[in-house]
Amino acid sequence: MSAVRPSHLAGIALLVVLAVLPALPGMRALLFPLTLTNIMATLAIAWNLLFGYAGLLSLGHSFFFGAAGYASAILSKSYGIPVPVAMVIGAAVSSGIAALVGLPSLKLRGHYFVLVTLVLPAVAYQLTNALDVLGGHDGIFGVPPLVRDSYAVYLGSLFLMLASLVASAFVIRSRLGVEMISVREDEEAAKALGVDTPRVKLYALMISAFLSGLAGAYWAHLNGVISPSVYELEKASMPLLMSVLGGKGTLLGPVIGAYVIQTLFESLKIEAIATARLFVFAAATFAIYRIFPQGLMGVLRRVIG
Amino acid sequence: MSEVLVTRDLRKSFGGIAAVNGVDLTVREGELTAIIGPNGAGKTTLFNLITGFERPDSGKVYFMGRDVTGEKPYNLARMGLIRTFQIVRPLRNLTVLQNVLIGCRVRGLGPEAAEESLRAVGLWEKRDVLASLLTHGELKKLELARALAMRPKLLLLDEPLGGLTFSEAEEVTGAIREANANGTTVVLVEHRLRETFRIVRRVVVMNQGRIIYDGLPENVAKTEEVVKAYMGGRGWVLGT
Ligand SMILES: Nc1ncnc2c1ncn2[C@@H]1O[C@H](COP(=O)(O)OP(=O)(O)O)[C@@H](O)[C@H]1O
Ligand SMILES: [Mg+2]
């Protein structure tokens, strides 16, 4: 192990603050929005692992998020499977579908993969709307919670985000991570270096879908309900905006982006401008991207360095 | 000596134009061979067919006695059939060393292999520089270093001297000669004949997708068909 760096201490301090803050008197109103933030941050971490490191653009991560949410909701509600187990199975379902979809589409050159990811949530939206076994338009109600106590649920979401971060860090430092980066940089060069590019892309997609699925399942059990609206534009675009704003291809970027965007989101809570809000974030995000391709992480590095 | 590479009647057309039109080429262990020929002769396409980046319309490729026709490029690379690109393909957001380490890791080699190859091309001092900041000459050297670090059985170099200064070209030919002396079989495509003929022992000339000469460097310019092929294109090349 290398020596403890100031940045590590700062990280631990920040974590303690995050863990304790909403438990303080008068701060309980923060519990739900912060839980949501951690879930969105997890989704952003998963998206960034795929795009920021393997260079694969997904415009439909809401699909992996929602499919696991649905699977976990049904398994726990209708089949009595314990929630944590149902969540993992749900995430595995998302990962499995990712493999089925990725196997053919990742072999093709060009933008086929992007198109496929764009179509997935649209199809899922239609299917869940139409099928009564999936709850139809109203979705599935009475999804059992992971735990009753909302502070425990919050701590769980913090743990989920941290675990995803650690998992990402582990992947990036592994041989698979190095190969993902080579694919992002130049797929032909990667092949010449002996990198099995179709396999690397498939694994990256499956891991990303699994983490997205955990986030989606957590979200379904948090809300107690999941409906086709999960497949609408917001859940698909948010991880992209959060990662690009925070810094794509950096470990912490998605987390920073998630916290900034969700905080702004909560403070601008007027339903009438919901769509405009998304547009404003997109415009702001890409303005920042133009100046700092590494997002807020880039700004931070410049300020510190 | 054993045959490292054999191609049998390799053919590849693009939209009715035969880029490679029936190539039979045998490369034996330890050779250092140049493939020359006018632009558009099919040299790069031949490399692409051998290394699996393009699939031949017909014909066979044998590597170390094994039929590898249509095999995936990354599988061939793992078997030790390594190529470089005429137009360099660096991993721009990685450092020089990281560029070289990936291939080592894939081939199960330690970081010594990366250091050795970077020293061989004179890039070791630049190991921590981002590839995006390198000059053209340095990028060409990086392309070569990446290939050398994978300890190739057969090394295919596509215009390794392209755009280099004289002193850079000297460093690169030195590194190629050294790799060959250490047992690597090398085939290189080149336009800079003076420097190339100084290090190779065999020259293959291609024109319009076919091999029109295969022999010693000394006799190339005396062969009428070769001279004609070059006069039809860019006559300056053989004057060297
Ligand atoms: N991918 C491709 N698509 C269409 N034509 C190609 C392609 N690659 C090569 N060619 C054509 O094949 C011929 C041989 O090209 P190439 O192998 O690059 O020649 P060389 O490397 O000897 O200069 C040229 O006429 C070139 O235009
Ligand atoms: Mg060429």
Helices (H), chain A: 6-20, 31-48, 54, 61-79, 83-105, 112-130, 150-173, 175-185, 187-192, 197-223, 233-246, 253-267, 274-291, 295-304
d(CA A250, nearest CA chain B) in Å: 13
> Could you give the C-alpha distances from A138 to A126, A133, A144, in angstroms and in order?
13, 11, 17
Residue A76 confidence (pLDDT): 97
Q: What is the mean pLDDT of residues A83-93?
A: 98
Q: What is the mean pLDDT of residues A131-150?
A: 92
Q: What is the mean pLDDT of residues B32-54?
A: 96
Rg of the Cα atoms in chain A: 19
Question: Domain extents for chain A?
Answer: 29-231
Percent of chain A residues past pLDDT 90, beyond the cut: 68
* Chain B CB contacts of A195 below 8 Å: 74, 102, 106
Complex-level ipTM: 0.93
More confident residue, B194 or A110: B194
Q: What is the mean pLDDT of residues A214-231?
A: 97
Residue A11 confidence (pLDDT): 84
Rg of the Cα atoms in chain B: 17
Residue A26 clears pLDDT 50, i.e. is over it: yes
Question: Domain extents for chain B?
Answer: 3-231
Q: What is the mean pLDDT of residues B115-139?
A: 97
Helix A274-291 × helix A233-246 angle, to 10°: 30
- Ligand 1 pocket (Cβ < 6 Å) reads B 14, 17, 19, 37, 39-45
Q: What is the mean pLDDT of residues A107-131?
A: 89
Which range of A258-267, B128-137, B210-219 scores highest in mean pLDDT? It is B128-137
Give the model's confidence band at A233: pLDDT under 50 very low, under 70 low, under 90 confident, else very high.
confident
Angle made by CA atoms A185, A186, A190, in degrees to the nearest 5: 110
* Cβ pair B91:A189 closer than 8 A: yes
Give the model's confidence band at B233: pLDDT under 50 very low, under 70 low, under 90 confident, else very high.
low
Residue B232 confidence (pLDDT): 61
* Chain B CB contacts of A188 below 8 Å: 53, 85, 89
Query: Any bridge partners for residue B165, and if so which?
Result: none
CATH topology of domain B3-231: Rossmann fold (3.40.50)
Contacts of A85 (CB under 8 A, 6+ apart): A75
Taking all residues of chain B, what is their mean pLDDT, rounded to a whole number?
93
Query: Can you give the pTM of this predicted structure?
Result: 0.92
Complete edge-to-edge strand list for the sheet that includes strand B154-158: B81-83, B154-158, B185-189, B32-36, B202-207, B210-215
d(CA B47, CA B53): 8
Give the mutation candidate from B50, B72, B74, B104 for the A interface (greatest A CB count, under 10 A).
B74
Taking all residues of chain A, what is their mean pLDDT, rounded to a whole number?
91
pLDDT digits (tens, 9 = 90+) for B188-220: 999 999 999 999 999 999 999 999 999 999 888
Residue A23 confidence (pLDDT): 87
Query: Any bridge partners for residue B61, and if so which?
Result: B7
* Cβ pair B91:A186 closer than 8 A: yes
The CATH number of the structural domain formed by A29-231 is 1.10.3470.10
